[in-house]
Amino acid sequence: MSRKMKERLELTGSYTIILIMFVIIMYPLLWTLGISFNQGASLYSSSIIPKNFSLEHYVWLFTDPNSLYLKWYQNTLIVATATTISATFIIALTAYAFSRYRFVGRKYGIYAFLLLQMFPVLMGMVALYILLNIIGLLDSLLGLSLIYIGGAIPMNAFLVKGYFDTIPRELDESARMDGAGHFRVFFTIMLPLAKPILAVVLLFNFMAPFMDFILPSIILRSEENYTLALGLYNFVNDQFSNNFTRFAAGSVLIALPIATIYLILQRWLISGLTAGATKG
């Protein structure tokens, strides 16, 4: 077999694999989108493209008095925003401390971050439930946000620390020689240079409240406090409410804020991938 033929076969095989993965990923998304425009409440459809195109499910989500969808959306945005801002800031501070300073317990603190990732989150659910009950934050968005913030710190702080380690220390020393303090170095040098990794952390922290179902189902009890994942689950879980088409419509709308944040951070995400390929 000639070299040119071998390269063509390899290229064809690569494109075939990419096409198969694209179909596997896109098919359920397109099916959900098609179902959301179908009339009725049935999950089944003869084709991805709806025969009887209708916006009734989207209209119901936003206008029906019995729909709490807007409230669930608001709750999720509140939790996601609070988690994103607080967790990203705390993670950056923690990573900066572990990267630039030497203190008692530093080594064991890093080991603790790694060790915490070895245990599944479900192991701590009972303890978290009892803790929130004791401090009176059970069935509250504040309690849910605090758990998301605390859970995001260990692994993300370790990742951001690794990125901070690649930033030359000479920049810190030069700034301190010019009279800059610790916080000035952190805000004016470290944070701007770490935008790519912080953008990744911010995106993942923002997505978590939209995607997570287990934690809200344990902590939240009132329908008015539900997040989107928990609220939409009731559309297909209640004995007399198997509204799969409404569930699909609500699920499609979840992508809007996530896609918006992704587009805003896209420049830094791409530069982060480029930097990761060149930094040693």
- CA pair distance 117, 60, nearest whole angstrom: 42
- CA pair distance 242, 46, nearest whole angstrom: 19
CATH number of 210's domain: 1.10.3720.10
Reported as a single tens digit per residue, the pLDDT across 32-56 is 888 888 877 666 665 677 777 788 8
Q: Are residues 194 and 240 in the same domain?
A: yes
Q: Are residues 107 and 132 in the same domain?
A: yes
Q: Are residues 188 and 240 in the same domain?
A: yes
The answer for residues whose C-beta is within 8 angstroms of residue 265's C-beta and 6 or more apart is 199, 202, 203
Q: For a pLDDT cut of 70, what percent of the chain falls above it?
A: 91
**Residue 147: predicted pLDDT:** 92
Q: Are residues 197 and 222 in the same domain?
A: yes
**Residue 117: predicted pLDDT:** 76
Domain for residue 61, yes or no? Answer: no
Residue 280 pLDDT exceeds 60:
no
Domain for residue 100, yes or no? Answer: yes
Written as one string, the DSSP assignment of 165-201 is: HTS-HHHHHHHHHTT--HHHHIIIIIHHHTHHHHHHH
43 is in which domain, residue-wise? 3-56
- CA pair distance 178, 42, nearest whole angstrom: 68
- CA pair distance 150, 148, nearest whole angstrom: 6
Written as one string, the DSSP assignment of 44-83 is: --SSSS-SS---HHHHHHHH-TT--HHHHHHHHHHHHHHH
Number of domains within the chain: 2
Domain for residue 20, yes or no? Answer: yes
Domain for residue 19, yes or no? Answer: yes
Q: Are residues 106 and 163 in the same domain?
A: yes
Evaluate whether 31 touches 48 at the Cβ level (below 8 Å): yes
**Residue 57: predicted pLDDT:** 85
**Residue 44: predicted pLDDT:** 65
Q: Are residues 111 and 235 in the same domain?
A: yes
Ramachandran region, residue 43 (left: φ > 0; alpha: ψ -120 to 50; beta: rest): alpha
Q: Are residues 108 and 45 in the same domain?
A: no
Residue 170 pLDDT exceeds 80:
yes
